[in-house]
Amino acid sequence: MDALKARILKEGRNLGGGILKVDGFINHQIDPVLMNECGRELAHRFAPAHATKVLTAEISGIAPALSTAQHLGIPVVYARKTRPITMPDQVLLTIAPSHTKHRTVELIVSPEYVSPSDRVLIVDDFLATGQTILGLARLADAAGAAVVGIGVVIEKAFEGGRGVLAPLGVPIEALAIITDMSGERIVLA
């Protein structure tokens, strides 16, 4: 997606250690026009998958997942990292290591909203090590649902997540793929 790639090159900042700062348009401040275009493009790419539900993880997955869901016309569920008081006692929970936080996080979904008849499209802002998305796939699986695709805004290809997710056997789409951040620059595919 050219508009996204141009924005990453213009405003993204390589903070070193593989950390990409895109707080100005994705992670803290969101450009709603660009995000809407990202959602439109992901919806377009996954139209053949006939998803019934978009699944993401709070916090920064919400915006791209909602935008994608809007264009697909299907609900989005965001996995919580802490169990809110409105959730039932019986939940689906998995543990995922968080690369950027240097700890593990819980991903929690209520079985009320993901069911065996669901075809789940997983959407997130980043694909890095793939651990969060793998956790979301485990939650979908625990609910008896089928994962039909994985879509992300930005893939950091050098962190190997695509290989981690390959055994799921579903299409993986990234709107921008970063191949190298080892120097000071951001190198896009």
Please give the residue ranges that form the binding site for its own copies (CB under 8 A).
Answer: 15, 19, 21-25, 27-33, 35-36, 58-59, 62-63, 66-67, 69-70, 73-78, 80, 84-87, 100, 109-110, 112-113
Name the amino acid, one letter, at 180. Answer: D
Which CB atom, from 75 or from 97, has the smaller least distance to its own copies? Answer: 75
Helix or strand (DSSP H, E) at 155:
strand 146-156
From the CB of 146, what's the least distance to its own copies, in Å?
18
Q: 126 with 27: CB under 8 angstroms?
A: no
Residue whose CB is less far from its own copies, 31 or 141 = 31
Compare residues 108 and 165 and give the one whose CB is closer to its own copies: 108
Can you tell me the distance from the alpha carbon of 16 to that of 6, in angstroms, rounded to the nearest whole number? 20
7 C-beta neighbours (distance < 10 Å), count: 18
Minimum distance, C-beta of residue 29 to its own copies, in the bound complex (Å): 4
* Minimum distance from residue 134 beta carbon to its own copies (Å): 21
Residue pair 139/158 in contact (Cβ under 8 Å)? The answer is no
Residue among 15 and 166 whose Cβ is closer to its own copies: 15
In our burial notation (b when 16+ CB lie closer than 10 A, e otherwise), range 125-150 reads: bbbbbbbbbbbbbbbbbebebbbbbb
How many Cα atoms are found within 13 Å in the side-chain-facing hemisphere of 72?
A: 31
Name the residue nearer to its own copies (CB basis): 115 or 163: 115
> Least distance to its own copies from the beta carbon of 117, Å?
15
Q: Please report how close the Cβ of residue 158 comes to its own copies at its closest, in angstroms.
A: 18
